[in-house]
Structure 1
Amino acid sequence: MAFARLIELVVPTSATDTYSIITSVTLGLTGLLAYRVFLSPLRQIPGPFICRMTSLWMYYHSYIGDDCSLIDELHKKYGPVVVISPREVSISDRTALMPIYSDKGGFIKAPCYSNFDIEGHKTIFSTRDPAHRAVRSKAVLPMFSMANIRAGSGAIETSANKLVAKLREEALRSRKTCRSVNVLNLARSLAIDAACAYLFGKSYGGIDEDVESMTANAFVDALVAVGRLFFMPTWFFLLIEETRLKYFLTKEEVDSTESVHGFADQVVRESEKSDLTYQGRLLKAGISLEETEVQCKDLIFAGTDSTGNNFATLCWFLAKYPDIHKRLRDEIAEAEANDPNYLITTLRYLDAVVREGLRLSMANPTRFPREVPPQGWNFTAFNGQQFHFPAKTVVGVQPFTLHLNPEVFPEPLLFKPERWLDATPEMQRDWIPFGQGARQCIARNLATAELLYATRAVVRDGVLEGAKPAKDEIERIQWFNSRVVGDKIELIWA
């Protein structure tokens, strides 16, 4: 009876009831829109009228993958602070970096980060709770120190040398057949093998697989595609994602996920609670087997996608600019002639090449959203403008805008490593490929080391000599993790 009564209350039984419901909904929406346009605390912040009324416009552009370019254009039109949804503001002013991301730990991550939880577990990346993260990050942080990475660099160099041998085979085949080589797949195989060998004590074996289809690719691509929904409300994200998992999974995705799951399950269950491996440290800290496996899979995804993207882009630029390749090869040869035991970090031009590659590849181009704390935030922009943001306003700065700012990086679209040989303080500050502050990428030192060792290996070998890019540019979809259009970065050897 109670259920029948509920139906009577909810479902209209006459034309009058239908009219009343439509009228109520219309008045409610009109009132909400009026509040957002005329009474919202963000009404004084410049921006498109549609962004004041609804988030749908920006959700759409995030989904199709051009929101970074769109927001950059909005900043050029409206200034350093622009409203992009009823409760979100994008900031291009460099002075916002410290208060948002660094001072006193920075602002808490925005609610949308929960969309990157895996299998019901909050990862080191996705969790919003600093205390929850602290237990896990404290356990594994020593593995990401530069001193420990240098001590364990043998695992990274072994993977880099295997990659060079594989790339040389593909280059020879390209010369014979005039067919292009997808260096993105090769770069991904390097990234997954190097990260797993160093952190887990066991290589994934990606370099040994077919260059056209590494078994982890579909798993990684599926999570990259999740990024198109990153900024959506969590309830909507879960609805879409659960529908996809139930009805639209491909056999390739299932097989790939099982492959990665099987690898992670093996390294976790065969591991001891010790300080020698990433999973061992988590287990020693009291993290469950199930969650430890999830944390390992999250690291496999992030490391494979981002570092693979960055390294493939570096190879593409070195092939496009043979003079840069030659200068770098000369630096490496000179260093080895003077001191066979030199530290790789002393190669200034190599460091410059990697920095410039990270500036332009932007594996994570979009804004890193944070939530304004309960006391609100008063912000004074570089040009003297003052703004007040109430609690729970979502604010963020995107690398896309900072990295392509011509005032800081003249001719920003050009690959010019030499700019880093005399870097300005503004360049150092605005270069945020791994984020900034306490919540920046925990594996940034490892990712950088992989790029340094792998770039040195391919340049020292000379395997890229004679290579040319198959296309004039690399097109990217601007999701949270950018995706290369066509999933290919191709080189051809003449």
Structure 2
Amino acid sequence: MALSTLLDTLLMYSHLSFTLPFLIVVTVLATFLYRLNFHPLSRIPGLFLASVTSLYLYYHSYRGDECTLIDRLHQRYGPVIRIAPNEISISDGAALAPVYTERGGFMKAECYRNFDIDGHPSIFSALDPAHRAVRSKAVVSMFSTSAIRAGTDVLEGCVGRLVDRTKAEAGQSRQMKKETGEARRVNVLNLSRSLAVDAVSAYLFSQSFGGIEENNEELSASQFVNAFVAVGRFFYLPNWAFSALELASAKIWPSKAVDESMEKVEKFVSNLVEEAANGEKESDTYQGRLLHAGISKHETAAQCKDLMFAGTDSTGMNLGTICWHLARNADIYRSLRDEIRRSDAEDKNYNPQALPYLRAVMNEGLRLSMANPTRLPRVVPATGWSFHSSQDDRTYRLPAGTVVGLQIYSLHHNAAVFPDPLQFLPDRWLAGSDAEAQRLMQRDFIPFGIGPRQCIARNLATAELYYAVRRIVREDVLKGAKAVGEKIEIMEWFNSKVVGEKIELFWDGE
């Protein structure tokens, strides 16, 4: 009897051990079959593997070649492609307005939650417009052109210190060339980041971080910035998976350098918030305005850290890239210097953004820099959305809940809009060229995002870049400078990472 019961039990478990894997296999196959043939997006062209699983896209996002992969797929399949079971990428700039600007644009995708700071949605990552509006309203006037113009002396002071330090490093590079025959390489990405963090903190917080004065091979805040950049490779993961990976990474690969950098930034920000809360600092600061709007000290500190990261990373990348291209293109540098010298001779108080060639150089530098090269995902609203692309004369109907985005990499490298897209050609932006070509370039040029959710600090970042490039060229800092490498290699994460974390120049001439 006991033997019979035992045999029945073993037989039951043997059936279960067979049935469970069978059911899993059937479920997976049925899911793949549905996604391939019956899903509402099944008629959208794209790679087979990307249509059945998001793992393919997550893998390339981690590898840092996602943007070039998607761009190749667009060239192969057309302007609207399926890049994941429920996600579409569009390379036609005509889709920018309906997705990002018209009637406020579509809502941000859930993955933006992965960029919350210390448990708080930042002005950048917040999904709820009402939640963001309270914080944005408190500080947005600080980013107006009139407010920034009033703070010109603060920004110019930071730029002056940067130029002095760059001259000193250029001198060391030349001296080493004389002594050893090989010039010392100067990491202009580090210099640009030093300016960016000082300009953001001095203008918005009324206290400079002091990065330019550190005079180190690496800015003390760089590891803080790099840590935030690194999590961008996981940006598109579901929030639960992102949180698990972030926790595991910190446990498995701890870094003393990252911890020290984080601690320094945390201490800097905490002191600012405490002083503002206690009335020890003027209230008309970024942190003071947030506190006055009823934002907690903990969240105010988080918002300040988010601003420091974004401002340091993007402006540092942009200025470093522009300097590299100017050093590589002597004719362009010479033409820009001639324009600035002529303007200086007439009136040194002019607005640098009014100079046509400087504006062209800046646009071209921002086009190629792409501090954020990847797509900006949004969610199709409950009404669904139809998009007609003139590129293939086809109408695409996307159901509610579809994630859709346009990646900056594809827009800025579109040869139909930007001929010879890999070349640094400021002349393409000058007046006198074909009016329709100019319209398309302006439409597809989105270095700071687009619509009501574009970078809140874009005016400040733009002013920093104009003041810095004008001063660098005015004082001929790049005379004799040579660019290291044939191109600036990046990891194509949500925030791009320069491979080796260096954009280098050397000076071998007088």
User: When the two structures are superposed, what TM-score results if normalisation uses the length of structure 1?
Assistant: 0.96
Measure, in 1, the Cα distance between the counterparts of 2:286 and 2:355. 29
Q: Give 1:203's aligned residue.
A: 208
- Matches of residues 158-237 of structure 1 in structure 2 within 5 Å? 158-177=157-176, 178-237=183-242
Residue matched to 2:49: 50
1:70 and 2:63 are equivalent in the alignment: no
User: How do residues 9-408 of structure 1 correspond to structure 2 at under 5 angstroms?
Assistant: 14-177=13-176, 178-271=183-276, 276-383=284-391, 384-408=393-417
Structure 1 residue aligned with 2:496, among 477, 482, 487? 482
- Specify the SS of the correspondent of 1:204: coil
- 2:216 partner SS: coil
Instruction: Quote how far apart the aligned CAs of 1:292 are.
Output: 0.5
C-alpha distance in 2, partners of 1:343/1:454? 13
The 3-state SS of whatever aligns with 2:88 is: strand
Residue 13 of structure 1 and its aligned partner are, at CA, apart by 8.2
CA distance in 2, matches of 1:343, 1:119: 39
1:481, distance to aligned residue in structure 2 (A)? 0.4
Alpha-carbon distance in structure 2 between the residues aligned to 1:400 and 1:172: 36
Displacement after TM superposition at 1:411 (Å)? 1.2
The answer for unaligned runs of 5 or more in structure 1 is: 1-11
What is the Cα-based RMSD across aligned positions, in Å?
1.3
Which AA in structure 2 matches 1:90?
S
Q: Is the 8 A contact 1:185 1:211 kept in 2?
A: no
Are 1:186 and 1:211, in contact at CA under 8 Å, matched by a contact in 2?
no
In 2, Cα distance between the equivalents of 1:211 and 1:83? Answer: 46
How big is the shift at 1:68?
Answer: 0.5
Shift of 1:452: 0.3
Asked whether the 8 Å contact 2:143–2:456 carries over to 1, the reply is yes
Secondary structure, counterpart of 2:418 in structure 1:
coil
Moved more, 22-31 or 97-106: 22-31
* Greater C-alpha Rg: 2
Name the CA distance, whole Å, in 1 between partners of 2:334 and 2:206. Answer: 35
Q: Give deviations 1:460-489, integer Å, cap 9, x for gaps.
A: 111110000121211111101001110010
Distance in 1, Cα, partners of 2:345 & 2:216: 34
**Number of matched residues?**
483
1:364, 1:171 → 2: CA distance? 29
Distance 2:466 2:348 in 1: 17
How far the C-alpha of 1:438 sits from its partner, in A, is: 0.6
Whole-Å separation in 2 of the counterparts to 1:345 and 1:469: 26
**Aligned counterparts of 2:254 and 2:101: Cα–Cα separation in 1:** 40
AA at the equivalent of 2:197: I
Give the equivalent residue in structure 1 for 2:179: none
Residue pair 2:276, 2:283 contacting (<8 A) in 1 also? no
Contact 2:195 2:211 in 1 (8 A): yes
Q: Secondary structure at the match of 1:271?
A: helix
Greater Cα offset, 293-302 or 343-352:
343-352
Cα deviation, 1:317-367, whole Å, max 9, x if unaligned, reads 111111111111111111111113222222121111111100001000000
Mapped to 2, the partners of 1:487 and 1:343 lie a distance apart of: 33
Q: Which runs of 5+ in 2 are unaligned?
A: 1-10, 177-182
d(CA) in 2 for partners of 1:139 and 1:266? 20
Q: Distance in 1 between matches of 2:377 and 2:132?
A: 17
CA distance in 2, matches of 1:432, 1:163: 27
Contact 2:88 2:402 in 1 (8 A): yes
SS at match of 1:127: coil
